[in-house]
Amino acid sequence: MRERLLLDASVAIKVVVAEADSELALRVLDHALVAPDLLMAECGNILWKKVRRDEMPAEAADQAAAALLALRVEILPASRFLPGALRRAIRVGHPVYDCLYAEAAATLGLPLVTADRRLQALAGPGLRVIGLDDLP
């Protein structure tokens, strides 16, 4: 196993659904992964949207959800990070749900891996953010 990474939904969904950059996202599986429990709700919502937009059948969404649940990810309660995430969101003008990932990563001292370019822009002192192109 390589270093521990804080995983966000933009990467997790690429691991369980074939999308652009899914091959790059699969490299996270070589790492110990941690995520706030928000990950499951966000990925579930992404799968629901894909079904609603006729991008995938419901059966495929069910399979992707099962694959998501089977990933080796240490799930932590998002509530633990909410106060800091709210302060971060207000400070940087970015949605709280994304800031939960950033705050969890900063609090735990882990790099945040994301495919979200706007979230990558939040990197700074105390928060290391890794894009898929830079994933070891």
Give the pLDDT confidence of 84-125 residue by residue, as tens digits.
Answer: 999 999 999 999 999 999 999 999 999 999 999 888 887 778
> pTM of this prediction?
0.91
- Name the architecture of domain 2-134: 3-Layer(aba) Sandwich (3.40)
Closest by CA to 117, choosing from 94, 87, 84, 136, is: 94
CA distances from 132 to 39, 60, 77 (A): 17, 24, 25
For residue 66, give the amino acid letter.
A
CB 41 within 8 A of CB 65: no
Task: Quote the mean pLDDT of the chain.
Answer: 93
